[in-house]
């Protein structure tokens, strides 16, 4: 057993914002997006679909909330309260909780995403349609 730690930093080099995960084994790897804990594998699959180079911090916060709410099983999992923080140009490159209005938008989007019926990946559906032509 051990603890996986996430470390978010921002420096003034060309690297800018950075996210690292330190594993219980001592391994430290850099990520654009990562999840730890229960359901992390499913969340990682969803995170890999996002292009963090083309979305804003606000859009990223909303997407993260959608992933969390979609993966939360109300029957099996304990209730949770979503808290989001970020490091971005809008925070003067300092770690801060997201503003309440962004958090509300993220929670609303997450709840809506969780209520939508589960479907196969849209790309797979498009591929199936193209194969049938």
In the structure, what pLDDT confidence band is assigned to residue 131 with cuts at 50, 70 and 90?
very low
**Helix or strand run (H / E) with residue 71:** helix 57-71
- Helix 57-71 to helix 100-115 angle (10° resolution) is 40
Check pLDDT > 70 for residue 76.
yes
Overall residue count recorded for the chain in this entry: 133
Res 53: pLDDT: 86
DSSP summary character for residue 36: -
Res 57: pLDDT: 92
Res 68: pLDDT: 93
In percent, how much of the chain has pLDDT > 90?
A: 56
Q: pLDDT tens for residues 81-116?
A: 999 999 888 888 889 999 999 999 999 999 999 998
Averaged pLDDT score across all residues of the chain: 86
């Amino acid at each position: 057993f051990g603890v996986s730690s996430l470390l978010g930093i921002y420096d003034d080099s060309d690297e800018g914002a950075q996210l690292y995960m330190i594993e219980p084994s001592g391994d430290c790897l850099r990520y654009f997006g990562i999840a730890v804990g229960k359901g992390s594998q499913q969340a990682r699959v969803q995170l890999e679909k996002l292009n963090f180079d083309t979305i804003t911090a606000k859009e990223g916060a909303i997407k993260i909330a959608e992933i969390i709410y979609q993966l939360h099983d109300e029957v099996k999992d304990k209730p949770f309260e979503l808290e989001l923080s970020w490091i971005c140009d809008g925070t003067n490159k300092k770690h801060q909780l997201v503003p309440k209005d962004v958090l509300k938008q993220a929670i609303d989007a997450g709840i809506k995403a969780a209520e939508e019926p589960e479907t196969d990946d849209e790309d797979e559906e498009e591929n199936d349609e193209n194969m049938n032509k």
